[in-house]
């Protein structure tokens, strides 16, 4: 009887233990707790409604590039050029070139780079709607690497001009143009640096450039660099690409370009102060090669007859070392200083003629219009 009582007690204990275990919530099968959410918050992920504000500070959100490109694209043109050439055996041939441009005026005025249209025999402009025009006129400025071409068209969608002085490093930009001559396309990037100067040839440099990591390829030259409002802030103009180095794209800031563009439209050329001397940067190698008295400055390689430099007695072989008492170390520096002056202003030019150091007063005149 005692054994039966013990066995019955064990059965009751096992039953109570199993029952208690079954009453516990399962870790894998427990129902999801219900959470009350505020009326403005959705319990399930969904796309933001058009009326909902977008948190632009969120790193997971990207700008609306689609709208930017759709706004700008109709104002961008493809430029095709024909370049005459001479073959190995003297035979004549033509070579096709490609570039980009953008509409600045509804009546057929288009801005591009000088190097896109320089030295070509024919310039053709293709609009976004497929229409093609030959140019009626081409006005260029090699110093700023800018050009304005005119086509016989009206009612074109002019691009809105922005304020490049308000750009900041890190801002999004879009480069649009006729990349590789394959039609209008777009690339995105950010502003990498501002106010960059870039030497493009002996004695010449481009200043106030916007550096961007947006891909800029051959054919993009002359096309616009725009901000997220669809406003042009720069004109794509140059690209540096070296082995082992990521390409850096450059655009002339619209702030620097606009005065030049306005003069090209008004006069057909840019009025600039004129010294009348071709210059080449002096370094130690140049100084040894030509036996110069100094190893820094701007070597005069040619002087235009009747120019201010000619009248002041400056000769080929002289080296300009200072202007208005400020030392200059390159041809680019001389050019930059001259461009900061006005026609009719007088400057003090210090130069070496052989080993003799001289300083003369020179009154700058107006540069002759391009032939």
Residues noted as catalytic: 115, 145, 221
Strands in 137-141's sheet, in edge-to-edge order, are 132-134, 122-126, 76-86, 92-105, 109-112, 146-150, 137-141
- The region, left, alpha or beta by phi > 0 then psi within -120 to 50, assigned to residue 168 is beta
The backbone torsions φ and ψ at residue 180, rounded to the nearest 5 degrees and listed phi first, read: 60, 15
Token pair in block for residue 24: 């516990």
* Residue (of 206, 210, 176, 180) closest to 195 by Cα position: 210
Q: Please answer whether residues 157 and 142 qualify as being in contact, where contact means their C-beta atoms are separated by less than 8 angstroms.
A: no
Euclidean distance between CA atoms 351 and 292, whole angstroms = 12
The backbone torsions φ and ψ at residue 158, rounded to the nearest 5 degrees and listed phi first, read: -70, 145
* Residue (of 273, 227, 229, 272) closest to 254 by Cα position: 227
How many CA atoms lie within 13 Å of 197's alpha carbon, on the beta-carbon side? 10
User: What is the enclosing helix (H) or strand (E) of 95?
Assistant: strand 92-105
Euclidean distance between CA atoms 108 and 212, whole angstroms = 29
């Amino acid at each position: 009887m005692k054994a039966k009582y013990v066995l019955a007690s064990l059965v009751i204990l096992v039953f109570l233990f199993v029952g208690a275990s079954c009453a516990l919530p399962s870790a894998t099968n427990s129902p999801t707790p219900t959470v009350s959410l505020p009326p403005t918050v959705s319990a399930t992920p969904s796309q933001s409604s058009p009326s909902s504000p977008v948190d632009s500070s969120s790193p997971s959100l990207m700008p609306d590039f689609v709208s930017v490109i759709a706004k700008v694209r109709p104002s961008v043109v493809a430029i095709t050029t024909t370049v005459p050439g001479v073959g190995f055996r003297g035979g004549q041939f033509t070579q096709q070139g490609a570039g980009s441009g953008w509409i600045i005026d509804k009546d057929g005025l288009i801005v591009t780079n000088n190097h896109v249209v320089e030295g070509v025999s024919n310039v053709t402009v293709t609009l976004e709607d497929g229409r093609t025009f030959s140019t009626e006129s081409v006005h260029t400025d090699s110093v700023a690497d800018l050009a304005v071409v005119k086509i016989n068209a009206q009612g074109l969608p002019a691009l809105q001009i922005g304020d490049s002085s308000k750009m900041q490093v890190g801002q999004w930009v879009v480069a649009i143009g006729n990349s590789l001559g394959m039609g209008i396309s777009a690339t995105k990037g950010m502003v990498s640096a501002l106010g960059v100067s870039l030497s493009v040839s002996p004695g010449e440099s481009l200043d106030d450039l916007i550096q961007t990591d947006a891909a800029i390829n051959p054919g993009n030259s002359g096309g616009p660099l725009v901000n997220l409002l669809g406003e042009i802030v720069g004109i794509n103009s140059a690209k540096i690409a070296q082995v082992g180095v990521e390409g850096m794209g450059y655009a002339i800031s619209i702030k620097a370009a606009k005065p030049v563009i306005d003069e090209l439209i008004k006069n057909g050329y840019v009025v600039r102060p004129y010294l009348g001397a071709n210059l080449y940067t002096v370094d130690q190698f140049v100084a040894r090669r030509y036996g110069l008295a100094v190893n820094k400055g701007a070597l005069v390689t040619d002087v235009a007859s009747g120019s201010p430099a000619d009248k002041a007695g400056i000769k080929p072989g002289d080296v300009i070392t200072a202007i208005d008492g400020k030392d200059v170390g390159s041809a680019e520096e001389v050019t930059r200083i001259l461009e900061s002056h006005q026609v009719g202003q007088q400057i003090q030019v210090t130069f070496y003629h052989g080993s003799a150091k001289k300083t003369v007063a020179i009154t700058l005149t107006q540069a002759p219009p391009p032939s």
